[in-house]
Amino acid sequence: MAGHASAADMIREATDANIDYQRLELAYARCADQDAAQPARHPVIVVGAGPVGLTMAIDLARQAIPVVVLDDDCRLSTGSRAICFAKRTLEIWDRLGVGQRMVDKGVSWSVGKVFFQDALVYAFNLLPEGGHHRPAFINLQQYYCEGYLYEAAAALPNVDLRWKSRVVALEHRAGHVELEVQTPEGAYRLHGEYVVACDGSRSPLRTMLGQEARGRTFHDRFLIADVRMSADFPAERWFWFDPPFHRNQSVLLHRQPDNVWRIDFQLGWNVDPDEEKKPSNVIPRIKALLGGDARFELEWVSVYTFACQRMERFRHGRVIFAGDAAHGVSPFGARGANSGVQDADNLGWKLGLVLAGKAPDRLLDSYGAEREFAADENILNSTRSTDFITPKSEVSRTFRDAVLKLAQDHPFARRLVNSGRLSVPATLSRSWLNTPDRDACAGAMTPGAPAADAPVRVDGCDAWFLQQLRGVFVVVVFSDDGSLASGTASALRKLAQQVIPIAAIVVVPPGAPQDAGTGGVVPEGGARGIAVVEDVQGLLARRYDACVGTCYLLRPDQHVCARWRAFDADAVIAALARATCNA
């Protein structure tokens, strides 16, 4: 897969740094399928080229699966929309070779400040410890995010992007799904073994299947304004409850690249959205925040209401829903696009194995179970934040204000302040793909947890642990300075040669001679050899509660599926079978 990283580098060099992704028009082109006598058949059709559909397409294509992507539009995101992309999302995009570009362009941040009326209540740091490759968050306009994903997808030979191609009908047939696609030159039919519906919050595919997303709509309106200005606020998330410049409501300020700032004003329910979005009404609100002589330009203004909702089931036969089509949250906590990208991350390897005939179709049911569980966690967090930010009753408002007042002096109350519980990935603790702990293990890396990062050295070069996990199953064995137990090296090599290969990583402590660490085992690269990584700061062992012999099995999406105190090839094989529904 190393070839893809260099492809991404090539795009970066070839790309004009000043592309206006908001205005980029993606040309409709006639394709051979439109002239085919019989509907052409494809293994996977992704509907929707938003952040989730594009991530999905890149993941599948990197597994050598040809993907057709259909989008009804010919433009990327209009307006910034999502701006906060979380550490876990960046790690997923790193795996797909597009993370670095996002981070290079984005504004990294991890500190948030909360104000009540005219006083700072407290500040929090979302990533207080060092030793992680990626920051807690970057802020990046959604059009850049989609632009970079689009370019990465377009550079892959087996991604077939079709713009101005609207799915207008869907039918389950034996062994495939038939789609009717409307284009500027008329309609055509297409068959997909699987269809991934990433068609957004109003998902037409959801409607076509007679499904709906259920939940709560919040009776509140938010003015979202992006302004361009030179300002020296730090790269932090600033949140005001009831500030003097916007009484009784909340305000959020965020920095984006290119001197663009996101300002969210809570408006309440009884306002006229058309009036509110007029510059003559927006500008005074912004001046009240920035000061009367602040100079700025309005980039984008919109008024939204938000809902927390989800489909009851994300899988419907051969149609699998991901992203906003499957679930929606209010934006406090930035859990929308971030959780959608995690959906794609979860589904990619499962579809890959099922299409290759290496796992039964049932593995796809685990996508639904795991991501419905994650969606519930996101909806719960986002609902709680919304209820705190926009209290729905007098007493709820009284408690909210009491918390904010107490928080100025009392640390306990700061824990109750909820201006958004920012996106962190779900630990899939209830997944049936996990092998429950048999040995006594502690720490956060429980079965179902997303793998933690740490600094490492590989072949004498500084690197990161998560970079060593390349979209395959990986067994990680912690060793001391000595060699692997006799037979372990050959057992690890055998694991790499199974139908579903398991790559091996041996972790040696700081300063251990790396080649001696495995008794002369030399990394061969790819899934076939045994990679040796030096735990330069000892953080890997700490974060994985590891001692000599501790062993982890990680999934292709970097979630832990099992762990033991000693390497046991049979236990690893059994855990792999369980994690792939082959048990």
Partner 1 sequence: MPATLNTEPNIAAADDFYEALIETHRDLAPEQSGLVNAKLILLLANHIGDLDVLRQAMAHARAGIAPVGDGSAGVAGPPARAAPVGGPRKEAS
Ligand X SMILES: Cc1cc2nc3c(=O)[nH]c(=O)nc-3n(C[C@H](O)[C@H](O)[C@H](O)COP(=O)(O)OP(=O)(O)OC[C@H]3O[C@@H](n4cnc5c(N)ncnc54)[C@H](O)[C@@H]3O)c2cc1C
Sites of contact with ligand X (CB under 6 A)? 47-53, 70-73, 81-84, 142, 166-167, 198-200, 204, 224, 304, 323-325, 331, 334, 336-338, 340
Q: Taking the alpha carbons of 97, 102, 108, 109 in that order, is the dihedral positive or negative? A: negative
What is the DSSP code string of 495-517? HTTSSS-EEEEEEE-TT--TTGG
Residues in the chain: 583
From the list ligand X, partner 1, none, partner contacted by residue 221 (C-beta under 5 to 8 A by kind): partner 1
Q: Report, in Å, the least distance between residue 428 CB and ligand X.
A: 19
Binding partner of 416, given partner 1, ligand X, none, CB within 5-8 angstroms per partner class: partner 1
Q: Which amino acid is at 263?
A: I
475 in Cβ contact with 531 (< 8 Å): no
Looking at 141-149, 211-219, 544-552, 575-583, which segment touches partner 1 (CB under 8 A)?
211-219
Cβ atoms 366, 383 nearer than 8 A: no
Q: Which is nearer to ligand X, 80 or 558 (CB)?
A: 80
Q: Is residue 212 a contact residue for partner 1 (CB under 8 A)?
A: yes
- Under the criterion CB under 8 A, does residue 392 sit at the interface with partner 1? yes
41's contact among partner 1, ligand X, none, with CB below 5 to 8 A by partner kind, is none
Binding of residue 398 to partner 1 (CB under 8 A): yes
Is the CB of 139 or the CB of 434 nearer to ligand X? 139
In 3D, which of 140, 139, 332 has the Cα closest to residue 251?
Answer: 332
Assess 465 for contact with partner 1 (CB under 8 A).
Answer: no
Please report where in the chains the tokens 């039918």 appear, as a residue. 171
Task: Kindly state the smallest distance separating residue 45's Cβ from ligand X, in Å.
Answer: 10
How far is Cα 257 from Cα 399, in angstroms, rounded to an integer?
37
Q: How many whole angstroms separate alpha carbon 87 and alpha carbon 254?
A: 17
Q: Which of residues 324-353 bind partner 1 (CB under 8 A)?
A: 328, 330-331
Using the minimum distance from each CB to ligand X, give the nearer residue, 227 or 531.
Answer: 227
Instruction: Give the three-state DSSP class for 138.
Output: strand
According to the binding rule CB under 8 A, does residue 214 interact with partner 1? yes
Place of tokens 């306990």: 412
Instruction: Report the C-alpha gap between 221 and 355 in whole angstroms.
Output: 44
Q: For residues 488 and 530, what is the distance between their CA atoms, to the nearest angstrom?
A: 11
Closer residue to partner 1, CB minimum distance, 110 or 381:
381
Nearest approach in angstroms of CB 224 to ligand X is 4
Kind and range of the H or E run holding 353: helix 336-355
Q: Which of 245, 304, 373, 432 binds partner 1 (CB under 8 A)?
A: 304
227 makes contact, choosing from partner 1, ligand X, none, with CB < 5 to 8 Å by partner type, with none
Q: Is 221 in the site for partner 1 (CB under 8 A)?
A: yes
Helices 87-95 and 336-355 cross at an angle (nearest 10°) of 30
Residue 308 contacts partner 1 per CB under 8 A: yes
Over the window 414 to 443, marking each residue x when it contacts partner 1 by CB under 8 A and - when it does not, the resulting string is: --x---------------------------
Q: How many residues bind partner 1 (CB under 8 A)?
A: 49
* Cα dist from 55 to 26, 89, 159, whole Å: 18, 10, 11
The Cα-based distances of 14 to 61, 74, 152 in angstroms read 21, 22, 12
- The option from ligand X, partner 1, none interacting with 88 (CB < 5 to 8 A, set by class) reads none
User: In angstroms, what CA-CA distances link 373 with 63, 290, 510, 576?
Assistant: 26, 41, 38, 22
Q: Select from 146-154, 297-305, 419-427, 486-494 the region that touches partner 1 (CB under 8 A).
A: 297-305
CA distance 326 to 456: 37
Rounded CA-CA distance 419/384 in Å is 9
Rounded Cα–Cα distance for residues 240 and 121 (Å): 9
| 213 is a site residue for partner 1 (CB under 8 A) | yes
Regarding 313 and contact with partner 1 (CB under 8 A), the answer is no
> Which contacts qualify for 244-252: CB closer than 8 Å, 24 or more apart?
244/117, 244/118, 245/288, 245/289, 246/285, 246/288, 246/289, 250/389, 250/390, 250/419, 251/289, 252/419
Nearer CB in complex with partner 1: 380/444: 380
- State which residue, 402 or 522, has the beta carbon closest to partner 1: 402
- Distance in Å, CB of 53 to ligand X, minimum: 5
**Contacting residues for 417 by C-beta, under 8 A, at least 6 apart:** 114, 121, 122, 388, 403, 404, 407
Nearest distance from residue 315's CB to ligand X, in Å?
A: 16
Q: Which does 337 bind (CB under 5 to 8 A by kind): partner 1, ligand X, none?
A: ligand X
DSSP state of 25: P
Pick from 288, 51, 57: which is nearest to 148 by CA? 51
Q: Which does 431 bind (CB under 5 to 8 A by kind): partner 1, ligand X, none?
A: none
Q: Are 124 and 112 in contact (CB under 8 A)?
A: yes
Q: From the list ligand X, partner 1, none, which binds 352 (C-beta under 5 to 8 Å, kind-based)?
A: none
Residue 305 contact among partner 1, ligand X, none, beta carbon within 5 to 8 Å by kind: partner 1
376 makes contact with partner 1 (CB under 8 A): yes
Position 172 contacts partner 1 (CB under 8 A): no
Of 343 and 453, nearer to ligand X (C-beta) is: 343
**How many Å apart are CA 578 and CA 583, to the nearest integer?**
5
Least separation in angstroms between residue 214's CB and partner 1 is 5
Residue from 273, 510, 526, 538 in contact with partner 1 (CB under 8 A): 273
215 binds partner 1 (CB under 8 A): yes
Question: Chain centroid to CA 203: how far?
Answer: 19
Q: Is 322 in the site for partner 1 (CB under 8 A)?
A: no
70 binds, among partner 1, ligand X, none (CB under 5 to 8 A by kind): ligand X
- Contact between 399 and partner 1 (CB under 8 A)? yes
- Give residues in contact with partner 1 (CB under 8 A): 78, 201-202, 212-219, 221, 273-274, 276-277, 302-310, 312, 328, 330-331, 376, 379-380, 383, 387, 392-393, 395-396, 398-399, 401-403, 405-406, 410, 412-413, 416
